[in-house]
């Protein structure tokens, strides 16, 4: 009888852990100051991880990004408005 209660308790804690992680993730994704930056981040995650792993924005300078982004936007065939939103996100990320 004791064993059953123990297993039940472990299963209960195990099932709770992923949920907590999810909540934390949602909270961080909504801390961007504007809707544009938040949208840009979404596009960055979705469009910029197709050919390579997502690059860390802070690993490159503003100077480097001014060459990389047009190049990558071309590779990803992004429309201008999406490129502009990603640019907003990159600019914000570099300053934060």
**Is 86 one of the binding residues for ligand HEC (CB under 6 A)?**
yes
Could you tell me if 86 and 78 are in contact, meaning their C-beta atoms sit under 8 angstroms apart?
A: yes
Cα atoms in the Cβ-side hemisphere of radius 13 Å centred on 43: 24
Count of residues that interact with ligand HEC, criterion CB under 6 A: 14
**Is 68 one of the binding residues for ligand HEC (CB under 6 A)?**
yes
Interacting residue with ligand HEC among 36, 60, 91, 93 (CB under 6 A): 60
Interacting residue with ligand HEC among 12, 15, 52, 80 (CB under 6 A): 52
d(CA 25, CA 28): 5
**Is 27 one of the binding residues for ligand HEC (CB under 6 A)?**
no
């Amino acid at each position: 009888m004791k064993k059953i209660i123990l297993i039940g308790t472990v299963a209960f804690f195990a099932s709770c852990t992923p949920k907590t992680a999810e909540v934390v993730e949602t909270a961080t994704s909504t801390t961007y100051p504007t809707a544009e930056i938040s949208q840009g981040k979404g596009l960055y995650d979705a469009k910029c991880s197709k050919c390579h792993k997502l690059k860390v924005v802070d690993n490159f300078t503003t100077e480097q990004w001014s060459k990389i982004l047009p190049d990558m936007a071309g590779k990803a065939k992004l429309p201008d408005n999406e490129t502009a939103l990603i640019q907003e996100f990159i600019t914000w990320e570099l300053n934060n």
